[in-house]
Amino acid sequence: MAKVDTDIKTDLEKLELDKLQESILSELLDICHENLDETDDEFVRKAFKLCYLSHQGVKRASGEAYFLHPVEVAKIMAEDFNIDDESVVAALLHDTVEDTNVTLNDIRNLFGDTVAHLIDGVTKITGFFDNRDSKQAETFMKLLLSMAEDIRVVLIKFADRLHNMRTINHLPRQKQLKKATETLELYAPLAHRFGLFNIKNEFEDLCFKVIDPNSFKFIARKLREKKESREEFIDKFMEPVEKQLEEYNFNFEIKGRPKHIYSIYRKMQSQQKPFEEIYDLFAIRIILENPHTKEDCWRVYSIITDWYTPIPKRFRDFISVPKANGYQSLHTTVITKTGRKVEVQIRTRKMDNIAEQGLAAHWKYKEGESGGSSELDKFVHWVRDVLDNPRPDAATEFVKDFQLNLYQDEIYVFTPDGELKTLPNGASCIDFAFEIHSEIGERAVASKVNGKMVPLRTKLKSGDQVEIITGNKINLNPDWMEDVVTHKAKARLRQFIKQKERKVADEGREIWEKRAKKGKIAISDQELTRIAQKFQFDAAQDMFFEIGSGAFEVDKLFEVVKQFKSKGRIDDKQDDYKSRTEEEIQKEYITTARSVGDDKALVVEGELSNVKYSYANCCNPIPGDNVIGFISRNGDVKIHRSNCKNAHHLIKTDSERIVDVSWAKNIDTQFLGAVRVIGEDRVGLVNDLTEILSKSMQTNMKSINVTSEGGMFEGILTLYINDLAHLEKIINRLERVEGIKNVTRYE
C-alpha cells in the first residue's frame, strides 16, 4: 500500500510532474477535449497528481508503474464512454480508497460529492465481482440497485476490467484462465445488457484468446488473409447504392466491419462448418447523419432492396420494436447476383451512438429529451423485476439466472389481446406463462401458439401470439427445468422441486422410524446426523431423501445404527458408501468401457464399408459430424471432420484423393471423443464429473487429464461417444455441475 501524508492538499500543491508524467497527462487531456462536451483541465490535473502520488512506488505484474493502470482506465472512460470529466476523475482515483491511505472523505473534500459517490460505488462492487459466491447475494442485489442510480459506477468497473484483460498476458496461465472465465461469465453478458456491444465483443475476444488460443489465432489469421478481398467486395457492393444515396442528397457514412472472432467461432461450432463456409463474416453499416430520421432509414432500405434481393426471414426491424437495452436499427440480409449473402444494417447517427455506447448514451441523452431515459427506465424496471424473489437464499442459482437473462437476445411475442412481451431467446410457452403471472405459470396445462395447440415446452419465436390454458390446481412439472430460461420460471420450479424433495425425505424418515421401531432401537437426531455424515451425506435429511427414493437401503442404516448403539462407534468398513476414490472410479471406467469398433459405421461412395477405413486422430469424427474421406497411399480411407484444419490442407493439395462419405443410418458402436472442462477447483469435483457421466449419462470414460492451480481446474475427459447428439447432451449436463465455467468439445 502506498503511503500518503495526512495533509494531501499540501502534498498535491508541492508535487511537480516530470516531463514523462506531463506527457501522459497531456495525452489524457487531449482525449478528454476530443470526446467530452466540457473538460475542467485543473480538475483532471489534480486527480492525475493524486493518482500518481497515492500509487507511487507500486508496480503491476508487468513491472510498469501502477498509476498507469488508472490512467488507462480514465482514457477508456473518455474515449469509449465519453460521458463527463467527473467519471474520468473517478476512474483516475478508482483504486485509491481501497488500496491506499486516501479516504473517501479526502476524495469528497478535494473533488466533491459526485466523484466520492462514484468511487464509493466502484469500491463496493469490486468485492462482488471478485468474490461471487453464495455469501455475496446481498452485495449483488445492492450492486444492481446502485447501477440503477448511477450507471457510471459500472462503466468504470467495465473500463477497469477491460484494461486488465488487455494486459492479462503478464499473469500466470491459471490466473489468466480464472480472469477470462469470470469475464466471459459476468462482464460480457452485463455489457451486452447495457448495449455496450463493442465492449462486450472485446471482452469475448480477449477471453477466447486466453481460453482457446489456437482457435483464436486460426480465425484471426483467416480474417487477416481475407481483409483485402473483403474491402474490395464492400466497395463493389456499395458502389451503385452509394451513387443513388448521393443523388437523393443523403448525408451518410458507410462502415464494413468483420464480425468479432468469438462470434465467428460460435457460428462455426453451432453450424459445424469450417471457416471457409461461414459467409456472413461481416456486416455493412449505413449511418445517416443528423438531421435524418427513422423514416429515412426505410428509404435507404428501399434503395438497397432495389439493387439486391432481400431474404425475408433475415429482416429485423429494431426501430419500431427496439431491444430492451435501447438498440435500434434495421437489419436485412440480401443476396448479390453472384449468390453471396450480405448483412446490411441501417440506422441514424443517434441510433449508432446508442448501439456503440448503449445505456451510457441514454444516460447522456436523458438531459433535455423527455424520452431519452426511457430505455434506462426499462432497464431499472427489469433489474427490480429480477430482484422480486421471495426466496433470496438461492444465491448461486440467482446469479446464473441473471447471467442467462443478460446474455440472450430477446424475442418479441404477443398475448391474445395483442400486448407485446419481451422474453430471452430460447424461451418456451412455460416462460411466457410465468411472464404473464406466477399463478398462470403454476396452473398452465396447455398452450396455443398462433391459434394452434402446442406442448407447453414449445420454444417461441418473435411474432408468435401465445395463449395459455390453465386448470384449477397447480400443475408444475420438475422436468420443465430443462425447458425454461427466465428467472421467474426457474425460481418457482426450483421451489417446487425442493418441496417435492422434502416430501420424499419425510417419507424416507417415516420408513426409517418404522424400521427402528420394529428393531426396538432408539437414536437421537444428533446421532443420526453423525452416522449420515459417515455415509458421506451432508445431513440426515439427505440420507432420508435417498431412503425415500429407494436409492439407499434402510436395512443398511439399521445395521450401522445397531452397531453404533452396541459399540459406541462405526467400523471403517461401513464407511464405503459414496466414498470411492476418484482413481478407483477412473479405473472402473477404463475396465468396463466397451471397445471401439468401425463395423458398418460409414457409407463410402455409396457402398457399405467394404473399404478399409480409420478415423483421423487430429479431429476424432463421430456420427453426426460432417465428414470427408481421404484415400491414403496404401489405399485405405482416412476419415476427417470437414472442418478439420488437416482436411482443409488435403483438399487444397490433393483434392483428387478426396472421397464422399456419410454415416450409416444404424450404427451399433462407440467412438472416441473428448471435452475440455474449466472451472473452480474444489474437493470432489472429478468425482462429481465421473459420477454424472456413469450414472446420469450412461457414458464410459477412457481417460482423464487434470491440471489444477490457483483455485482453477482444467481437465480433458476422453469418452466413448455414440454420436454428436450424445456429445452435446454430455456438454450441456456437465455445464450444470457446481463450479464448472466452460465445457467445450476438445480437438
Catalytic residues: 98-99
Tell me the β-bridge partners of 606: none
Strand 602-604 relative to strand 607-608: parallel, antiparallel, unpaired? Answer: antiparallel
Cell digits for 100? 491506499
State the amino acid at position 696 in one-letter form. Answer: S
216's grid cell: 483464436
DSSP state of 276: G
Asked whether the beta carbons of 735 and 729 are under 8 A apart, the reply is no
Q: What single-letter amino acid sits at 262?
A: Y
CA 432 to chain centre: 23
Q: How is the beta sheet containing 701-709 ordered, strand by strand?
A: 701-709, 712-721, 671-680, 740-745
Which secondary structure element, helix H or strand E, spans residue 608, and what is its range? strand 607-608
Closest alpha carbon to 37 in 78, 67, 73, 70: 78
The answer to whether residues 615 and 605 touch, using CB atoms and an 8 Å cutoff, is no
With beta carbons less than 8 A apart as the criterion, state whether 379 and 325 touch.
Answer: yes
List, in sequence order, every beta strand (DSSP E) within 223-303: 252-258, 282-288
CB count in 10 Å sphere of residue 281: 17
Question: Residue by residue, what is the 3-state secondary structure of 7-37?
Answer: CHHHHHHHCCCCHHHHHHHHHHHHHHHHHCC
| Preceding omega of 312 cis (within 30 degrees of 0) | no
Quickly list DSSP for 668-727: ---EEEEEEEEEE--TTHHHHHHHIIIIIS---EEEEEEEEETTEEEEEEEEEES-HHHH
Helix ranges (DSSP H) in 279-332: 294-307
Pairing state of beta strands 466-470 and 444-449? antiparallel
Residue 526: which residues within 8 A CB-CB, separation 6 or more?
A: none
Helix ranges (DSSP H) in 579-702: 582-592, 645-653, 685-691
C-alpha grid cell for residue 605? 461412395
